[in-house]
Amino acid sequence: MIDELERVRRFRSEEPPPSEAARLEASAALARAIHASPRPQRQRQRQRQPRRRRLMRTALVVASIAIGLLVVELAGSGSDTGPPTAAAAALEQLARIAANGPSLVPGPGEYLYVDSINDYPAIAVAGAGKPSCTTYATDHRQLWIGANGSGLLRDTTGPTRFTSPRDRAVCSAMKPSPSTGSGTSNLWFAARCFQLGPTDDMQALSTDPRTLLVQMRRLDGGPRTPAEDFVHIGDFMRETDASPALRAALYRAAALIPGVHLLGRVRDHLGRTGLGVAYDAPGVRHELIFNPRTSELMGEQDSGSSGADFAVYLHTRVVGRLPQSPPIPLSPPCVAGSGYLTHTPKGDVQTGRAPQP
Amino acid sequence: MPVRGDIAGRRSDAEYIVSSLTMPDAFRSVFDRHFDAVHRYLARRVGRARADDLASQTFVVAFERRASFRPDVADARPWLLGIATHLLMNDRRSEKRSLETVMRVATRREPSYTDQEPRELDAEVAMALAGLDSDMRDVLLLVAWGELSYEEIAGALGIPVGTVRSRLSRARAHIRAQLQSQEVR
């Protein structure tokens, strides 16, 4: 019995390679682009940042005009079909706790620290038309994000696990093996070198729940459905420096999404008890679990899927320093996400320019 | 985040792309390595004729945007498939038409066609894929056909990993339900 992913994988798997004519034509098109490109490229790269800022400002103006129209759309859809009273009441209670809770916005010299354990599947294929295998590995993820956007991502990956004896056999036969080696990796990054969430400016978001839902749809993309709105709530909560007012707005925005319902007391994958809120899409339930005392996001998990996808959040707090100094200075910042990676014995460092010798 | 190492001591894609900022011709190596994979992914989605054009566009766009490539990601394939997927946005209708064609051809049950079973199986998958929202189809097919990890898809499409996970979960549930309902009929 093959699963649905395998069925999709086999669909049109006999597709032959491109024709020589197509390859030559594409190669010629690329050659024309290369020939037409200005030199030197460095100067062009430096000029990108102001243009990007202008584009962002334009986008914000366009978005704010459109928001007026879309707020009407959301307002019309939420009132009669919103979450049941129990979920709305629980989310409002969490919103009040969040609004009066400590700020998670790091000040100068401070870092937002988020410590989590994640478990996601990885699918490996030996080549076209060959069998695939699915592996799992538990990842201990520690993230420090400074006020200026620089920081450290530390990943400690556990041993690879297999979903079935067949998967183990298929994976073992692959050369090289898809099993990820367990161990710890460090990646330090300068400002603007590493984008974590859907936006790098959480403080620009509205604290009005209806407007916020519209902004999240624009920034996070995806289908314009209640299921996707619920995904956005998680996206803007995890590993972000949302202010207390914005966190409160996120809970209130969740309360506007039709179909969101209260699970009550649930256990996360560490066995901790929290308050569960869920959205049931066909065949899968997406759950967010909150600490009822602090309102913090404790975990998220999908039930009904073939695997066991989950994340649990151990600590989310503001700290005064990085746990380990970077091996080279975290400067200059990246420009338009472009930067240089330097390998060192302590880990990798991404900065906007190659370090001076 | 683990940084992929180079294979057999070859220069990584990232090294070629960084070099191409000052020596644009270096980008040709990225084309030579990945054109077939990008074309194949596109051809499976919208057919060979359209894939010829879109695959070509993918590399021109990638060359123009190479300054935004993250140099800590040694392998450029996820980035290229992300660009290809974005270019597909204008081809949503032709992709759906192509899937519906598979469904129609299978339903006709042409007598000359001797291997009926695989064609019917294709039609079931085509029908299930055609019913998927395009954003969920993108994630599902980047996993199934692009062979990308959650992190790679997140980077390629510019969406959080949690969104990838959630969209994939829902896409799989949809496909599973569709295939099961077709078996019952």
Question: Is residue A34 assigned to a domain?
Answer: no
In a domain? residue A27: no
pLDDT of residue A65: 33
**Cross-chain Cβ contact A37/B63 below 8 Å:** yes
Pair A160, A224 in one domain: no
Question: Which pair of tokens denotes residue A230?
Answer: 């619920």
Residue A305 is encoded by which pair of tokens?
């899927």
Nearest CA in chain B to A337: B68
The whole-number pLDDT of residue A301 equals 87
Name the pLDDT band for B62 (thresholds 50, 70, 90).
very high
pTM of the model: 0.68
* Token output for A18: 């491109």
Backbone φ and ψ of A319, nearest 5° = -125, 165
Task: Verify whether the Cβ–Cβ distance A282 to B143 is below 8 Å.
Answer: no
Segment B151-169 shows an average pLDDT of 86
Q: Between A299 and B184, where is the model more confident?
A: A299
Domains recognised in chain B with CATH numbers? 13-184 (1.10.10.10)
Length in residues, chain A: 357
Which structural domain range is residue A127 located in?
111-194+339-351
Residue A162 lies in a domain: yes
Number of Cβ pairs < 8 A linking chain A and chain B: 226
Please give the pLDDT value at position A77: 36
Number of folded domains in chain A?
A: 2
CA separation for the pair A254, B131 (Å, rounded): 27
Residue A5, in any domain of the structure: no
Same domain as A234, residue A160? no
B39–A153: do the CB atoms touch at under 8 Å?
A: no
Tokens representing A314 are 């151990």
* pLDDT tens-digit profile, chain A (357 residues): 568 888 898 888 888 889 999 999 999 999 888 888 765 433 333 322 222 222 233 333 333 333 333 333 333 333 345 567 899 999 999 999 999 999 999 999 999 999 999 887 666 655 555 666 777 778 899 999 998 889 999 989 888 777 778 777 877 777 656 665 678 889 898 888 776 667 778 889 999 999 999 999 888 777 788 988 998 999 899 888 899 999 999 999 999 999 999 999 999 989 999 999 999 887 778 899 999 999 999 999 887 655 567 899 999 999 999 999 999 999 888 875 566 778 888 988 888 877 766
The residues that bridge with A145 in the sheet, in sequence order, are A112, A151
Does A115 lie in the same domain as A201? no
pLDDT of residue B93: 67
Q: Inform me whether the pLDDT recorded for B112 exceeds 70.
A: no
Residue A45 and residue B44: Cβ atoms within 8 Å? Answer: no
pLDDT recorded at residue A312: 94
Same domain, A91 and A224: yes
- Mean pLDDT to the nearest integer, B86-105: 71
pLDDT tens profile B124-142: 888 888 888 888 999 999 9
- Are residues A189 and A202 part of one domain? no
| ipTM for this prediction | 0.84
Do A313 and A206 reside in the same domain of the chain? yes
* Cross-chain Cβ contact A185/B2 below 8 Å: yes
Same domain, A175 and A275: no
The pLDDT of residue B160 is above 90: no
- Chain B residues touching A335 at Cβ < 8 A: 67
Q: Quote the minimal CA–CA distance from A198 to chain B in Å.
A: 6
Mean pLDDT of B20-36: 89
Whether residue A267 sits in one domain with residue A122:
no
DSSP chain B: -PPPPPSTTPPPHHHHHHHHTT-GGGHHHHHHHHHHHHHHHHHHHH-HHHHHHHHHHHHHHHHHTGGGS-TT----HHHHHHHHHHHGGGGHHHHHHHHHHHHHHHHH--TT---HHHHHHHHHHHHHHHTS-HHHHHHHHHHHTT---HHHHHHHHT--HHHHHHHHHHHHHHHHHHHHHHHH-
> Which segment of A16-20, A46-50, B23-27, B174-178 scores lowest on mean pLDDT?
A46-50
What pLDDT is stored for residue B69 in this prediction? 84
Q: What is the pLDDT of residue A61?
A: 32
- Mean of the pLDDT values across residues B8-20? 77
Chain B residues whose CB is inside 8 A of the A155 CB are: 1-2
Of A22, A41, A300, the CB nearest to B39: A22
Question: Which residue would you say has higher pLDDT here, B76 or A308?
Answer: B76
| Cross-strand pairs, A260 | A279
Mean pLDDT over B55-64 rounds to 92
At residue B106 the predicted structure's pLDDT band, cuts being 50, 70 and 90, is low
Average of per-residue pLDDT across B34-53: 92
Q: Is the pLDDT confidence value at B36 over 60?
A: yes
- Identify whether A158 is part of a domain: yes
Are A102 and A242 part of one and the same domain?
Answer: yes
Q: Residue A36: what pLDDT?
A: 80
| Chain-chain contact of B160 with A37 (C-beta, under 8 angstroms) | no
* Residue A357 counted as domain residue: no
**Pairing mode, strands A347-351 and A183-189:** parallel
Give domain status of residue A68, yes or no.
no
- Do A203 and A268 have their domain in common? yes
Asked if residue A282 and residue A169 are part of one domain, the reply reads no
Same domain, A312 and A346: no
Residue A314 located in a structural domain: yes
